[in-house]
Amino acid sequence: MSGVELAILGFVAMLGMIAIRIPIAAAMAITGFVGVWILRGSPDPMMNLLKSVTWDAFASYSLSIVPLFLLMGQFASKSGMSERLFRATADWLGHRPGGIAIAAVGACAGFGAVSGSSLATASTMGQVALPEMKRYGYSDALATGVLAAGGTLGILIPPSIILVIYAILTEQNIEKMFAAAILPGLLAVAGYILVVMIYVALRPDAAQRMPRQPWAVRRSSLVRVWPVVAVFVLVIGGIAADWNWLKPGRQALFTPIEGAAVGAVLTGLYGLLTGGLDRRSFTASILEAAQATGMIYLILFGAQVFNTFLAFTRTPQALADWVVTAGFSPMVVLLLMLATYLIFGCVMDSLSMILLTIPIFFPIVQSLEFGLTPDETAIWFGILVLIVVEVGLITPPVGMNLFIINALAREVPIRRTYAGVMPFVISDLIRVAVLIASPWLSLVLVRAM
């Protein structure tokens, strides 16, 4: 059996283990370990490699950004930022047709800017916005669909944990990845708002309007959310903007890791000063961030073992060579890869998809010609992957955001949530097509840097 054939067999075996609910970290590690054992005829090579694999997986300084951004998101979630964001957007937009749903999209974008997690955004904003939409007679499909879709903004609007992992895996600049995600993120917000407006125009009975709020109330709600805006501008602006005028010889105000630390400290102080964080919730934030970090690191370890197995089989290089010699159009290859992510999104979470596929797909993408520099191709591909992974989170039948929202709205049949989210899935697919046809939308801010 050739190395490529063994890799294919191992990949199928790994998917089988995932299907019977073996944790994906264990499935990847077992497949990699057994695969190398079969290739080398002995477990000794893998046992020796485990020492370096473990070090490589956990000792990277760049990975310290992950627990810091997770802690920032936990502080933001438990300090009441989500409720203030939703209230401010609802005060300004709630009197318009579909205004509360539009406000939920805006609040999801704002919370995603300090959370970095799709599931956290969907869960937190669902708890805040669902009762208000029920109060004003929003249809079950629209209410649950918009919140499931809005939650995906958590991994697209910088800072994003998935973007950080992608940048580390592909050795790309984290600042540039964040900059590249800003315009696609704003396009996502605009697309979701447009879907809500069309939905309500076609079905006016699906949403009632809130009373128009006085100007004093609107101004007051804006004052309450300025810390969220300040944290986002300072963290992302400090990482990606040119601060050479303030600190000669240094373009950024601080590195991504320093920015994550600043963001965590500021959101924590905000929660403590506003009373949103007490001793219990502060401790819970630290513990939950640590648990999430442990989960991510364990998946990273499993992926590292599996990727070591793939490296022994030389499958990524063989696939890249085959694609080049077969004469496939670069665009056809790209579309097939993105379609694969849509399929995987039905059974896997976003981080697992990234860790499992990037070591295989990235060498292939780098071997294709899209009229961009290698770094631009890597950044553009990363944004496309991020968006398609995001679509997987809301694609029936097993999109994880759908179940998060449905767990919060237990009285709503899951089929209504499926129906409500489909217009937003169509919006996402249109956005993917636009970004494929116009790579400059992902790269214009990167080139400006």
- The C-alpha atoms of residue 404 and residue 424 are separated, in whole angstroms, by 17
**Tokens of residue 43, six digits:** 């477990």
Specify the length of the chain in residues: 449
- The C-alpha atoms of residue 98 and residue 138 are separated, in whole angstroms, by 8
- The C-alpha atoms of residue 417 and residue 33 are separated, in whole angstroms, by 40
CB-based contact 350:155 (threshold 8 Å):
yes
C-alpha distance across the termini of the chain, in Å: 49
Residues in Cβ contact with 415 at an 8 Å cutoff, skipping those fewer than 6 apart: none
Burial label for 143, CB within 10 Å (0-12, 13-18, 19+), is: buried
Cβ neighbours, 10 Å, residue 134: 14
Q: Phi and psi (nearest 5°) for 135?
A: -60, -35
**Tokens of residue 197, six digits:** 């407006």
Residues in Cβ contact with 262 at an 8 Å cutoff, skipping those fewer than 6 apart: 234, 235, 238, 254
pLDDT tens series, the chain, 449 aa: 677 778 888 888 887 887 787 888 888 888 888 888 888 777 777 777 777 767 766 777 777 888 888 888 888 878 777 778 888 888 888 788 888 888 889 888 888 777 777 777 888 888 888 888 888 888 888 888 888 888 888 888 877 888 888 888 888 888 888 888 889 989 999 999 999 999 988 888 877 877 888 878 888 877 777 877 788 778 777 776 655 555 555 566 777 788 888 888 888 888 888 777 888 888 888 898 888 888 888 888 888 888 788 878 877 777 777 776 777 788 888 888 888 888 777 667 777 788 878 888 888 888 888 888 888 999 999 999 988 888 887 877 667 788 788 888 778 888 888 888 899 999 999 999 999 998 988 888 888 86
DSSP symbol at 410: T
